[in-house]
Chain A
Amino acid sequence: DVKVTQSSRYLVKRTGEKVFLECVQDMDHENMFWYRQDPGLGLRLIYFSYDVKMKEKGDIPEGYSVSREKKERFSLILESASTNQTSMYLCASLEHLYSSYNEQFFGPGTRLTVL
């Protein structure tokens, strides 16, 4: 079974705090993703990484940064959390970027509340 795990299910932080969200996958997938999911807006891609130390901006990278030092781990960093970053954060991994046959596997999500 592919497993994507996220460090926390629920997190409460204060405005201005630095926040780290960790994601680990155990299937040796090259591609990893961070999304946020908000009601009515669906999943929006923040950043993705197609290899160690490689990253690409998604649709909404502002206010976020990422780190991929090891293949299995992809971290999302909020340098200075703001209330509009309150959301559900989902990490995902994918074996091949361009294939009709592969599945993107998601972690259980981290519900972040910024007060």
Chain B
Amino acid sequence: RKEVEQDPGPFNVPEGATVAFNCTYSNSASQSFFWYRQDCRKEPKLLMSVYSSGNEDGRFTAQLNRASQYISLLIRDSKLSDSATYLCVVQGGKLIFGQGTELSVKP
């Protein structure tokens, strides 16, 4: 089993749709969780950290479920500019990246 697993997608959604990504992790001792965004041919950049109580940043909501060992990212009212690959990152003793979920938002 991979330490961090994501559905690779691609997710193809129309503008305005709500889309959710899940990410599962195997190390129950993991302490910190993040979502990164990577545009085509660019480097990954931090989208948001994921806090135990869940957190929201505009149209983006991140949730953590420690009991089931997964984190999620919800994007509401998708924009064309949201098209990218979304990487979940889990930190226990080291930072571990998921393989990324590709999102394509269509007009």
In the complex the two chains form, what is the Cα distance from A102 to B100 in whole Å? 20
B46: A residues at CB distance < 8 A: 103-104
B45 within 8 A of A: yes
CB of B54 to closest CB in A, whole Å:
13
Contact count A vs B, C-beta below 8 Å:
44
B32-A99 in contact (CB<8A) = yes
Bound together, the chains give a CA A108 to CA B45 distance in angstroms of 11
Q: Is the interface of A mostly helix, strand, loop or mixed?
A: loop
Q: Are A98 and B32 in contact, with the CB atoms below 8 A?
A: yes
Tell whether, in the assembled complex, residue B43 and residue A90 are in contact, meaning their CB atoms are under 8 Å apart: yes
Question: B26 in the interface, Cβ–Cβ < 8 Å?
Answer: no
Bound CA–CA A2/B42 (angstroms): 16
Q: Which residues of A contact B103 (CB under 8 A)?
A: none
Q: Across the interface, do B94 and A45 meet the contact criterion of CB distance under 8 Å?
A: yes
Within 8 A of B (CB), among A16-52: 33, 35, 40-45, 48
**Interchain CB contact under 8 A, B45 and A106:** yes
Q: A99-B32, A104-B95 are in contact. Are A42 and B45 (CB under 8 A)?
A: no
A residues with CB within 8 A of B? 33, 35, 40-45, 48, 58, 90, 94, 98-101, 103-104, 106-109
